[in-house]
Structure 1
Amino acid sequence: MPVFAHGQLRLYLLALLDSGPKHGYELITALSDRFGGTYRPSPGTIYPRLARLEEEGLVTRSDEGRKGTYALTAAGRAELAARQGDLAAIEEDLAETVRTLADQVRDEVRGAMAGLRADLAAAAQEARASARSATGPDARATSRAHRAEIEAMLHEFRDEMRAEIRRADARGTIGRLTVDTVRTVLDSARTAIRGTLGSG
């Protein structure tokens, strides 16, 4: 689905540069953050528009090594100030777009998790069949070793996700859509794991 209507991305790039000069990659990342990671524009989308803004005298580019830094000119700031109403309308449109994209992501996650649950159920069935033919102390020792391996994976996952969440919080990009999507993922994962353990 189109994310920006005609001319909207041009104005939005000016708005992103209002807080200070940025590299092209920083603009791409900033846009991705605004969409909670549900949309990330390609360099082929961003750089031609930046070049056009430079031709129009609305931004300047200064090269630092292999990176070009873009900054608003006085004309760029004047256009941005004159089009605050248009920018507010874009923000409203983007809010609806993000909600739609988030719904699509959640649907895709649910589909992926359904496949994962089926795989885990098959694995659990195989494990139960193996357990019936291998009982006693050796089987319990093997189970304990596997439990320790799973717990180590869970600890590693928790630590990695906490670090990611803290980085996102530092950028100020955690919103209600992020919370809802994470809840969907975790609920699906919880159901899948319980099913594979035979406790669901």
Structure 2
Amino acid sequence: MEKIGIYGGSFNPVHIGHVEIMKYVLKEMKLDRLIVIPVGFPSHKDSLLLTGEKRIELLEAACKDIEKVTISDIEVQNKGVSYTYDTLLNLKKKYKDAIFYEIIGEDSADYLQEWKDYEKMVEECKFVVLKRNGYAYRAEHNNIIVLESPLYRYSSTEVRERLKKGLDISDMVPKKVHEIIIKEKLYR
């Protein structure tokens, strides 16, 4: 049975922390595949997102050399709000004999019970919770796995703020992502 991780987020933009998380969960959870899914229209916050297509381009540049990572446009193609449970059901149709692992941070885990169809979701897949600075999440269900993961110090918000101020971000994002952001003057 294939073990598939689902890693969703705005990835606005993808940064080195995201890439480190991908590599970490692939290894730690012994996943056969990690599907990275940028949101189309986030249900939980307003945000000035780059287009889904541009974020996919940046993700593909960042993940080009990471085995077992697939970038999916499943939520970007959806013209309405995408909910994680609906995305999971769509993936379950495509990968019928798979065990799914939803990768989230402790910040998201803190309001997990508020997610649409949380009760159904926690029965349909396992949640893998990664450490976030300032949080101490305690699992409340057998299908929730809290990993003693390293703390990843970068955030997309910080990358965007530095770009607005004209500061260097070359140590915060993968090299190919940096090249695209600078060439196309993104986030300015």
TM-score (ref. length: structure 2): 0.25
Greater C-alpha Rg? 1
Q: Which has the higher helix share?
A: 1
